[in-house]
Amino acid sequence: MNYLLHLKCRECGRTYAPEPIAACEECWAPLEAVYDYGRLWSDVRRKDIESRPPDMWRYRELLPITGEPWVGRRTGFTPLLPAPRLAKALGAREVFVKNDAVNYPTLSFKDRVVAVALSKAHEFGFDTVSCSSTGNLANAVAAQAAAGGFKAFIFVPADLEPEKIVGTQIFGATLVRVAGNYDQVNRLCSEIAQKYPWGVVNVNLRTYYSEGSKTVGYEVAEQLGWRLPPNIVVPMAGGSLITKIAKAFEELKKLGWVEAAPTKYFGAQATGCSPITTAAKRGTSEIEPQKPHTIARSLAIGNPADGYFAVKTILGSGGAGEDVNDEEIVEGIHLLAETEGIFTETAGGVTVAVARKLIQQGKLNPEEMIVLVITGNGLKTVGAVNGRFAESVAIRPKIVEFEEKFLHPVAAPA
Ligand X SMILES: *Cc1c(COP(=O)(O)O)cnc(C)c1O
Q: Applying CB under 6 A, which residues contact ligand X?
A: 108, 110, 136, 213, 235-241, 298-299, 345, 347, 375-376
Strands 80-82 vs 94-99: parallel, antiparallel or unpaired: antiparallel
Instruction: Give least dist CB 81 to ligand X, A.
Output: 17
Considering only residues 221 to 250 of the shown chain, the ones binding Zn ion according to CB under 5 A are none
* Interface with Zn ion, residue 11, by CB under 5 A: yes
Q: Residue 23 or residue 358: which is nearer to Zn ion going by CB?
A: 23
- Residue 240 interaction partner, one of ligand X, Zn ion, none, beta carbon < 5-8 Å per kind: ligand X
Q: Report the distance separating Cα 114 and Cα 41, nearest Å.
A: 27
CB atoms within 10 A of CB 50: 11
* Interface with Zn ion, residue 22, by CB under 5 A: no
Alpha-carbon Rg for the chain, nearest whole angstrom, is 22
* Interface with Zn ion, residue 9, by CB under 5 A: yes
Q: How far is CA 132 from CA 66, 113, 114, 143, 180, in A?
A: 26, 14, 12, 15, 12
Identify which range of 25-33, 64-72, 184-192, 303-311 contacts Zn ion by CB under 5 A.
25-33
CB 83 within 8 A of CB 372: yes
Own/partner contacts of 324-327, CB < 8 Å, gap of 24 or more, are 324/268, 324/270, 324/271, 324/350, 324/353, 324/354, 324/357, 325/270, 325/271, 325/272, 326/270, 326/272, 326/294, 326/295, 326/296
* Interface with Zn ion, residue 27, by CB under 5 A: yes
* Interface with Zn ion, residue 12, by CB under 5 A: yes
Instruction: Give least dist CB 299 to ligand X, A.
Output: 6
Element (H, E) at 176: strand 174-178
- Residue 12 interaction partner, one of ligand X, Zn ion, none, beta carbon < 5-8 Å per kind: Zn ion
Q: How far is CA 129 from CA 67, 138, 204, 206, 410, in A?
A: 19, 11, 11, 12, 61
Instruction: Give least dist CB 149 to ligand X, A.
Output: 25
Instruction: Give least dist CB 376 to ligand X, A.
Output: 3
φ/ψ of 397, rounded to 5, equals -75, 60
Q: Report the distance separating Cα 263 and Cα 316, nearest Å.
A: 10
Q: Residue 239 or residue 321: which is nearer to ligand X going by CB?
A: 239
CB 199 within 8 A of CB 20: yes
* Interface with Zn ion, residue 166, by CB under 5 A: no
Instruction: Give least dist CB 28 to Zn ion, A.
Output: 7
Instruction: Give least dist CB 114 to Zn ion, A.
Output: 26
Identify which range of 24-32, 150-158, 248-256, 347-355 contacts Zn ion by CB under 5 A.
24-32
Identify which range of 22-30, 204-212, 242-250, 396-404 contacts Zn ion by CB under 5 A.
22-30
Number of residues interacting with Zn ion: please give it, by CB under 5 A. 8
Instruction: Give least dist CB 7 to Zn ion, A.
Output: 11
**Applying CB under 5 A, which residues contact Zn ion?**
9, 11-12, 14, 24, 26-27, 29
